[in-house]
Amino acid sequence: MLFTRKLGVSTALVAVLVLGGCSEVNLLSYGAKKYRAQSTPTPSTTTAAVSNKDVDRGEAKIGKPYQIGGIWYYPAVDKSYDETGIASWYGEPFHGRRTANGAVYDMHKLTAAHKTLPLPTDVRVTNLENGRSVIVTVNDRGPFAHSRIIDLSRRSAELLGVIQNGTAKVRVQVVDSEGNGNSNIVAKPQTPLNEQNNVAAVPSTSITSATLAPPPNVAAAPLPASQPLPAPAADRPIQFASSAVIGTSGIAISPVVDTEIFIQAGAFSDFNNANKLSARLSTLGPAKVSQVLVNGQDFYRVRMGPVNGIVQADEMLANLINAGHREARIIVE
């Protein structure tokens, strides 16, 4: 986490910023984080947070561009932020320390660290591997490890099911926390007053039934005996067909969609440059060039993969960075 940092100003390539920004820093930082994240967790207390409403939000600030490990980061307001990537989590020894905006980090609260979003910002984090999602408050800077897009507090990681493996594929979305601060995981439908009065309710009436007499000279068959339907099993699990809130825990469950992990080595506005990089990467593995339209302009992305998992993605990313491709990053799609 970032508790002290060197600030500075630099100019970034527009194409790089549009397509994902800076890569993360050295393997030493990553190795320390990985060891900490995968260490055996201790049981959580029953009073741990299930909502982000009581977190220490700290001082409201965006911050100037800053540099960590030779990499520049550019904080900015982005209300439409919606990214997928790899999440990690942090607990000790940062518990009780000050965050980047002066808040006191409490690993039992629903908070997180992000490299560029304004502090504080509420985001919905969805674990793409199990469908769980929860809203957390970003009040710190980080993570400064290879292609981790968010660092969750211990409690956030517990609720999302990230605590054991230490990392997970996630989606991070900025949510609207203004007004009453509800930041609903599942929005409550609201019917306008004019629509409520459009159709009058059908009046309720009592209905009676009687057995009709058979026609003359026709023998009537005896009525079959009616049997009541069996009561539903009390322990039958509930199946969620769509996004739903589970009780009052603040966790939402949505259907799990298959995702794949790629390593993006670069993005170019010139196809020839992308093609040259793809050819140079052939010694490290198969690379592909794909075209994408961003803000009306064509870009050509050079990607490797898909890879089998986060560990393999980390290894491939480390190889690319060691080969000089410092802008390489992990992509989850």
Q: What is the β-pairing status of strands 287-294 and 297-307?
A: antiparallel
In this predicted structure, what is the pLDDT of residue 48?
Answer: 62
Top-confidence residue, 330 or 213: 330
In this predicted structure, what is the pLDDT of residue 52?
Answer: 83
The domain 6-174 is placed in CATH, from the list 2.40.40.10, 3.10.310.10, 3.40.50.12280, 3.40.630.10, at: 2.40.40.10
Give the pLDDT confidence of 166-194 residue by residue, as tens digits.
Answer: 999 999 999 975 533 344 333 333 445 54
In this predicted structure, what is the pLDDT of residue 115?
Answer: 96
Cβ(126)–Cβ(254) below 8 Å = yes
Q: What does the block give as tokens for 314?
A: 């980390």
Residues 114, 125: Cα–Cα separation, whole Å: 12
Residues 60, 139: Cα–Cα separation, whole Å: 9
Give the pLDDT confidence of 209-225 residue by residue, as tens digits.
Answer: 566 666 666 665 565 66
Cβ(288)–Cβ(317) below 8 Å = no
Please report, for the chain, the start and end positions of each structural domain, with discontinuous segments joined by +.
Answer: 6-174, 261-332
Q: What does the block give as tokens for 222?
A: 């005896």
Beta strands in 186-249 (DSSP E): 244-245
- My answer on whether omega of the bond before 93 falls inside 30° of 0, hence cis, is yes
What rounded mean pLDDT belongs to the chain? 75
Q: What does the block give as tokens for 177?
A: 């926390």
Check whether 246 has a pLDDT greater than 50.
no
Q: What does the block give as tokens for 286?
A: 């198969």
Check whether 28 has a pLDDT greater than 50.
no
Residues with Cβ within 8 Å of 253's Cβ and at least 6 positions away in sequence, in order, are 131, 132, 133, 240, 243, 244, 246
Assigned CATH for 261-332: 3.30.70.1070
Torsional sign, CA 66, 108, 105, 177 = positive
